[in-house]
Amino acid sequence: MSRPREHNERTAAALLDAAERLAAEDGLAGLSVRRVANETGTTTRAVYSLFGSKEGLLVALGARAFGLLGAMVAALPHASDPQADLIQGGLMFRRFARDHPVLFQIAIQRVDVSAEVVRGFEGPRLKALAELQDRITRLRESGQLGHRS
C-alpha cells in the first residue's frame, strides 16, 4: 500500500502565495525554499515534494501567472465590437501586471529566470495566449486589423 500524500493542493497554493509575497518584498534573488517553507509554517520537504526545487517553484509561479491571465481574459464578456474586446483584454493585462508584479516579472519579462524555467511553463503560456488570440481573431474577421497579422 502506498504512503498517503502529505502535501496537497492547499499546501501548494499557500507555498505559491508565500513565494509571490516574498519575491515582491525582496526580489527573486531573495527567494529561497527555506524562506517559503518558513513563511507557510511547513518544512522545505513540502516545497521539494510539491515542486522539486526552487526552479520548480519558479515554474509553478510562471504557470500561475498564465493561469490567472488566461482566466481573466476568458472571463471578460464579449462585446459586439471586437476592438472593444481587445482593448478590455489589454486593460486586464495591465491590471494583472499592476496587481501581480512578481508574476509579471517571471512570466512576461522573464527577469532572473532561466530558459529551463521558461520552458517549464510553456503549456500554460500557450493556453493563455489562445484566449487572447480568440479576441484578435474576432478583430481580424471584422476587418479591423487591415493587412496586419
**What's the pLDDT tens digit per position in 91-117?**
999 999 999 999 999 999 998 999 999
Task: Work out the percent of the chain whose per-residue pLDDT is above 90.
Answer: 70
Grid-cell match 509575497, residue found:
21
Residue type, 118: V
Q: Which residues contact 49 (CB under 8 A, 6 or more apart)?
A: 6, 7
How does pLDDT run along the chain (149 residues), one tens digit per residue?
A: 443 456 789 999 999 999 999 999 999 988 999 999 999 999 999 999 999 999 999 999 999 999 999 999 999 998 889 999 888 988 999 999 999 999 999 999 998 999 999 999 999 999 999 988 888 888 889 888 888 77
The closest alpha carbon to 71, from 124, 118, 110, belongs to 124
